[in-house]
Structure 1
């Protein structure tokens, strides 16, 4: 029996494929800079940010230097706030919770970004646990992040579904005994996902 459904964040609970896209797109528009230039300025720091080895505040002077612009740090918080929630996926999570199934998040993400979004999108009201790579110092390439999530959920791997828009991450979860599902963020067919959860696991559609 499935007791818990874990969701990836960006590309599943949001309508942007990655958080980096969301952040860089907003900053580019706000600063009047080309998107690819902003992405190039962030790229050298992304790995360290995702693993918690650096904060955005620490990286910001270097990013601004690369851009040749002294941008206010507030723009970064505004970029976090611009993250587009995937309303149908949130609705699915609410239906699961109402039916007695747990819902959690496992995400390769930056601590400060998710901390802000927990407040802006009230994530804690719906998802528990929320497991963030930067808080643990490891990504979904490591089984440790999945084991941490299972321990916090109090569930065995076979009792859990994990939904991710990266097929490799879904496969890694499956290899650990979870029921990994690859979600195509380009299609964003949440009704089809809900139907599959109902058909394959008896979960509410």
Structure 2
């Protein structure tokens, strides 16, 4: 196995608390019919990350071809609240993701690997959301956000772009994500893949690959 000299990593659900937790808070606050929401979103995500043929609103949103307000109107029209009406479209995506909290152990891990000369790159699919970038210069050597580069995971071209940003071949990198389809795509390009479920498990896997001891506080 090649020496790992680069870590490519997702943001939402990896460097933050889980999307499931954030969505649960929004569902309660906006009084969304949870069962109906899950059915709608399952169809959209299965198409976007599975074997669905053709393009979708999710593809366009993540590449920045569809703006957030337009997607919010489309999604709100598909959903229903417990009061039997659609939720307010304006600000829908911001409310959905408002429950994300930073996972400090993961940020510490990235600082640690950088201190050992390992390159780091964020590779995130954006849903027109705002990212908290205050300390990103300390954490990342490069940042690749789908809506800013016009490419999305699991398209191979976004991985090629990210590898170019850090100047490394796929065989020397590990990619960390919470969506299996993205891991599969990265592995097809020669990268090691870590399917993130929790910070402790992921950090242990990174330690094993890089042969380092990393912080988990």
TM-score for the superposition, normalised by structure 2: 0.72
2:66 to 48, 54, 65: 54
CA gap 1:202/1:126 in 2 versus in 1, 3 angstroms? same
1:127 matched to 2:133: no
The answer to whether the 8 A contact 1:24-1:35 is kept is no
CA gap 1:55/1:98 in 2 versus in 1, 3 angstroms? same
Secondary structure, aligned partner of 2:132: helix
In structure 1, C-alpha distance between the alignment counterparts of 2:152 and 2:8, rounded to whole Å: 15
Residues 153-194 of structure 1, C-alpha deviation per residue, up to 9 Å, x if partnerless?
Answer: 1222222111122334223222212222233x1xx1x33433
1:136 matched to 2:135: no
In structure 2, C-alpha distance between the alignment counterparts of 1:124 and 1:36, rounded to whole Å: 41
For structure 1, the residue ranges without an aligned partner over 5 or more in a row are none
In structure 2, C-alpha distance between the alignment counterparts of 1:156 and 1:40, rounded to whole Å: 39
The answer to whether the 8 A contact 2:144-2:162 is kept is yes
The answer to whether the 8 A contact 1:170-1:182 is kept is yes
Name the structure 2 match of 1:87: 104
The answer to whether the 8 A contact 2:8-2:173 is kept is yes
The answer to whether the 8 A contact 1:97-1:103 is kept is yes
Name the structure 2 match of 1:14: 16
1:63 to 50, 66, 75: 75
Name the structure 1 match of 2:184: 171
The answer to whether the 8 A contact 2:187-2:193 is kept is yes
1:191 to 187, 200, 207: 200
Which of the two has greater helix per residue?
Answer: 1
Aligned length: 194
Secondary structure, aligned partner of 1:10: coil
TM-score for the superposition, normalised by structure 1: 0.76
For structure 2, the residue ranges without an aligned partner over 5 or more in a row are 45-55
